[in-house]
């Protein structure tokens, strides 16, 4: 693992509660902007808390708790997409510092939840000045993994593959996969919350302070299907028609086949029936809103 360190100089009169932040970013991401990267580094320096360690994906590995402790890191700044925020938070369990997620991906759902819809440098400046509010966030746990933002379950997750193809290879290649995604959404065995009668092309699970909310996406008409396709391709599946199915500490999903999943933007599968329980992150996150 290659890590770049810098010597920290504390200024007289410095008010930031942090002194040795580390920064994670991905310079191969479509959302990466070199000028914003520089603004983040400059914001830390201006607060008297120069970046003490940089992890630039994909050439660097994500740091674990031991690496952060060895470098005396007291704040982990993660400027990436939701999936990498998940991986970074999971990988540094056992470290006692907080994680600051910044909007560096497509949806940036966790960042919006904790900070509102603000630019990454603005959020960082506020956190460095005040320390923000430090607390764990609710999560969704299954036998496979943990989600900090959302779990989408069901055959309609096939649209996520189309979305990724569009990002990496363009609209023409994505259009070749779209008919298969539409076929899956309309005709593949759906998924349901155990104990409820309705079957959906996908169910969206969201962790909240009150438990897991389960929303089924609705595709009863041609217009619904079109709206869902556009929502998935645009990145935010929640923009499509949906309805509340349940809110509970534990949600069991079932289907007539293996359930396709999207955990915080990363694709996976799980056997049916699948149990999802409300949990709490092992590390703290900083909120500024």
Q: What percent of the chain has pLDDT over 90?
A: 64
Task: Kindly state the helix (H) or strand (E) to which residue 25 belongs, with its residue range.
Answer: strand 21-26
pLDDT at position 16 is 83
| H runs (alpha helix) in 47-192 | 65-70, 82-91, 109-115, 120-130, 158-169, 171-187
pLDDT at position 238 is 61
- pLDDT band for position 2 (50/70/90)? very low
pLDDT at position 3 is 39
Q: Which two tokens stand for residue 52?
A: 């003490």
Between the CA of residue 178 and those of 120, 216, 218, what are the distances in Å? Answer: 33, 21, 18
Q: What is the pLDDT of residues 24-62, one digit of tens each?
A: 999 988 789 999 999 999 999 999 999 999 999 999 999
Q: Which two tokens stand for residue 113?
A: 């939840």
Residue 187 pLDDT more than 80?
A: no
Between the CA of residue 78 and those of 56, 255, 281, what are the distances in Å? Answer: 10, 36, 16
Is pLDDT larger for residue 145 or for residue 179? Answer: 145
Query: Percent helix, strand, coil in the chain (nearest 5)?
Result: 35, 30, 35
Q: What is the pLDDT of residues 136-175, one digit of tens each?
A: 999 999 988 999 999 999 988 766 666 665 566 666 665 6
Mean pLDDT of 171-198: 75
Residue 217 DSSP label: E
Q: What is the pTM of this model?
A: 0.84
């Amino acid at each position: 693992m290659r890590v770049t360190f810098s010597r920290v100089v504390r200024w007289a009169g410095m008010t930031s509660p942090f002194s040795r932040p580390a920064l994670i970013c991905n310079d191969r991401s479509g959302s990466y902007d070199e000028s914003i990267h520089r603004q983040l580094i400059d914001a830390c320096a201006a607060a008297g808390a120069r970046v003490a360690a940089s992890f630039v994906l994909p050439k660097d590995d994500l740091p674990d708790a031991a690496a952060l402790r060895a470098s005396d890191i007291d704040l982990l700044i993660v400027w990436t997409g939701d999936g990498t925020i998940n991986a970074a938070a999971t990988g540094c369990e056992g470290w006692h510092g907080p994680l600051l997620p910044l909007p560096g991906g497509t949806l940036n759902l966790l960042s919006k939840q904790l900070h509102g819809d603000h630019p990454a440098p603005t959020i960082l400046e506020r956190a460095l000045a005040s320390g923000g509010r430090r607390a764990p966030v609710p999560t969704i746990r299954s036998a496979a993994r943990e989600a900090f933002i959302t779990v989408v379950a069901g055959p309609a997750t096939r649209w996520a593959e189309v979305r990724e193809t569009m990002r990496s290879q363009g609209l023409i290649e994505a259009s070749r996969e779209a008919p298969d995604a539409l076929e899956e959404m309309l005709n593949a065995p759906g998924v349901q919350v155990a104990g409820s009668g309705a079957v959906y092309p996908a169910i969206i699970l969201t962790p909240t302070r009150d438990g897991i909310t389960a929303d089924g996406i609705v595709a009863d008409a041609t217009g619904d299907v079109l709206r869902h396709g556009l929502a998935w391709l645009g990145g935010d599946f929640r923009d499509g028609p949906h309805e509340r199915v349940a809110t509970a500490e534990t949600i069991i999903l079932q289907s007539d086949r293996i359930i396709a999943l999207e955990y915080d933007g990363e694709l996976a599968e799980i056997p049916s029936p699948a149990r999802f329980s409300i949990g709490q992150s092992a590390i703290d996150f900083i909120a500024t809103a």
